[in-house]
Chain A
């Protein structure tokens, strides 16, 4: 029993261990951060509304895509040209936002090392319910150029539900715009329910993620 606990705690950060805090009046409080500071609730499935209303709302969601400004890999160099006057993604309703709370699309551009995957999961789980994932580049499809590396993942859809893959190494901005177009079509058809899929298959995704991220110093679901 003691050995198993030691194994579980091998990579635990020192601030997340059980420790004693001195209160304002000098009393000692035992704090267990993994239970006290982190919320332990799991995500739930939000059903779409009835057909006509949901069609209208999906049209609005498709025409106003707010992308999280998080460049995860070498593909993120293809995103600033999209916002330049030549390709102009603003006329399609695409805007970059800085916080995951306000954005609805996350673009995984390129390979994901294990270190980046931990941060991407943290950002993805902070996004609110209708959220979409666009995977750029071949590294997200089958590992691409880094298929035999000890530090990069091979298949993105085992770690988070993906809506659109854009193949290429790197795809040109026109290809990325075509990817946005097919994402819009998918949203308007009502098939882009990635957040609900994540909530239903939560245990499977979490097991895959925890298999490779060994120092899991975060709550199970980052609200």
Chain B
């Protein structure tokens, strides 16, 4: 395919993923509200929040690094999207995936958080470094079981290309990694809870805990960029997990359904459990998911 067509389909895919992310977050909040016997927000409320944030009339900037924080975060989210094949078997929706994109996508997941931490440190808040170091420490502990599961899968399928991993899972439900390598799936899904930013791991970003979190000082357009990134990031992380563990998607309907169910797993746990403090969450993450991840590697060998 020539490059112009490719770029057009990449941008179209990004647009679809962004819209689906915003609608999904509204839908999930509606479901959480109905669980709590409330009527809940409107499903298109995230769009209104985005429009309101992008059109604030005045803004405060604290310097170059503060400005670049949301830029890094958004580039992390878009970076994951660019190298992730969305739909298996379709030449249009495979973005720029190549052999070895498994490592690149795992790198981009951490890059966004790191960039925003650098930006938030410049925020003019005297204690923001405390919040950032807590957030980064917790995120490191979340990433370790995930990478162990990814390594286990790479050894199992003898490849580092996501497209080939999806190809190996076709042909029926029992071929999914969920059933051929359950330990890796369990380790990755437990760390997925932390990556999505819901309870019990949301002490860093929850709005009630805001004043020492990284996005405290961000407002207006900056916050709009962060919210856009959050919508994209949730969907692409769910797509990443879907490709690795749940058989990939062969059409858009299957993609939407599977990402919704995978994201719903984190919400399902989130509404029931309260928050962990950072030291509690790190000690839990190092005990159970890490051990399961190590066992996943051992059993594959």
A residues neighboring B (CB under 8 Å): 46, 57, 60-61, 63-64, 85, 88, 90-91, 93, 95-99, 101-102, 104, 128-130, 195, 223
Contact = CB atoms under 8 A, between A and B. Distances in A.
B210 A46 contact: no
Contacts of A95: 207
B59 interface: yes
Given A91-B42, A96-B207, A60 B217 contact: no
Interface stretch (B14-22, B44-52, B154-162, B237-245): B44-52
A129 B55 contact: no
Given A64-B45, A93-B45, A99-B216, A129 B57 contact: yes
Identify whether the interface residues of A are mostly helix, strand, loop, or mixed.
Answer: loop
Nearest to A196: B57
A102 B208 CA distance: 13
Interface of B: 33, 36-42, 45, 48-49, 51-52, 55-60, 207-211, 216-220, 223
Contact of B48 (A60, A99, A128): A60
A98 B48 CA distance: 19
Nearest to A47: B57
A99 B211 contact: yes
Given A91-B42, A128-B219, A64 B49 contact: yes
A139 to B, nearest CB: 28
B52 A91 contact: no
A145 B182 CA distance: 67
A102 B60 contact: no
B155 to A, nearest CB: 45
A61 B53 CA distance: 9
B152 to A, nearest CB: 40
A64 B52 contact: yes
Nearest to A65: B52
Nearest to B46: A64
A108 to B, nearest CB: 21
B107 to A, nearest CB: 30
Given A64-B45, A90-B33, A101 B218 contact: yes
B161 to A, nearest CB: 41
16 contacts: A63-B45, A63-B48, A64-B45, A64-B51, A90-B38, A90-B39, A91-B41, A101-B218, A102-B219, A102-B223, A104-B52, A128-B58, A128-B60, A128-B220, A129-B57, A223-B60
Given A88-B39, A101-B219, A128-B219, A64 B48 contact: yes
A129 B56 contact: yes
Contacts of A129: 56-58
Contact of A98 (B52, B55, B210, B218): B210
Nearest to A63: B48
Contacts of B36: 85
Given A60-B48, A102-B223, A85 B56 contact: no
Given A96-B207, A99-B217, A101-B216, A128 B57 contact: yes
B207 A97 contact: yes
A85 B42 contact: no
Given A85-B37, A99-B217, A130 B57 contact: yes
B58 A46 contact: yes
A93 to B, nearest CB: 6
A129 B57 CA distance: 5
B207 A88 contact: no
Residue of A64, A88, A93 most packed against chain B (CB within 10 A): A64
B207 A101 contact: no
A223 B218 CA distance: 14
A69 to B, nearest CB: 9
Contacts of B208: 98
A57 B39 contact: no
A212 B108 CA distance: 54
B211 A98 contact: yes
